Structure 1
Amino acid sequence: MPEESMIVGNTVLYGAIEGECYFRGVAGERFAVRNSGAVAVVEGTGDHGCEYMTGGVVVVIGKTGRNFAAGMSGGVAYVLDEEETFRSRCNLAMVDLEPVAEEEELMRKIHHHGGDLEWHGRVDVSGDMTKHDDERLFQLISNHLHYTGSSRAKHILDHWEEFRPKFVKVMPVEYRRAMQEMEDLRTGRSRPTAAE
């Protein structure tokens, strides 16, 4: 059972700055520690996943160990939380947990293609990480299925409307603030300050 088998050892992606990887199986402890730009999909992690992560995107379509996201200051992670217990295993000192909102455009594409929609290629990791979570997550899991033949990924994609609400987005608080400030500068919009 790949989704229950350890396939990569401890500290895989330590300090990775770019690239993509798809693991049909579970990673050991400290998966993606200090990841600063790589994209990864894995079917479970040991303790301390995404520790000190500063960039990139990590998708976990299985269980995580304890202390997930300790010291995570950038990038985002999406974790499948089927048993609604992830909050107790996540270090919330620097991150917020957010739902993955349904995007109408993605649902139209899925229904138009009879549920058989897949994306292949690299997700835009430089895009706005405060938006398009539904599409980014669907694309990465589709890539995972394409590259690994994962039965777990296929089941999730075939039942997307059921599984999407079970994903949690792990978003570093200061990273979100910085992304919003950059967007405000780009659009010329200003937000009220605490004094206002």
Structure 2
Amino acid sequence: MISKEPETPQFTAEQIRELTNIVFLEEKQPSPCDILFVFAGTHSGHWEKAIQAYNKGLGNKLIVTGGYNSKMNLYESREIISHLVEAGISEKDIIFEDKSSNTLENVLFAKEVFNFETINKVLFICKSYAAGSQYRTLLQHLPRHLEFINYSFDAKFNGITVARDNWHSSEIGRKRVWGQYLRIIEYGRKGDLQPLKRRIEGL
């Protein structure tokens, strides 16, 4: 089990650049997609970004993922859906699964409720520092012809925002990003997500 906030080494400027592109992904202009894929979570960004994407016309169908969260005593997908509906999105435009407990299961259980062979382009919504691992999970388990576009939001920890342009300037940012990189390495080795072609030199 890799800690969410492991102790970090010192990073060079080049290592920071590579970590940023791997963990946050390279920035890409969003464009209309066939489906909006909402990764599970209880952060308001999950539904706020989904509502924003829907209202911008970036997708008119949503897949919402997330099973039971015992700490919060709720089903994450149902919590997200309640906010989507409250914002005026019709339930007929929402597909969901409520069995998953992690990123891999978000994707695998979504495959049980939706046929991804029928579409070409997916906009996925998640925390920005998780985008790299979640993108690679989609790549590993969904049809190869699909194009994936990241539409993420920045999360705060104890009032500190962790974003692609500032993560390296705070201890919590360095730990969160380093932990994500280590998970990409480990889960790539296990086959849960598409592995990196090469590790960052010196790390």
TM class, shorter-chain normalised?
A: under 0.3
Structure 2 length normalisation: TM-score? 0.23
Please report the TM-score for the alignment, with normalisation by the length of structure 1. 0.23
Bigger fraction of residues in helix? 2
Q: Which structure carries more strand by proportion?
A: 1
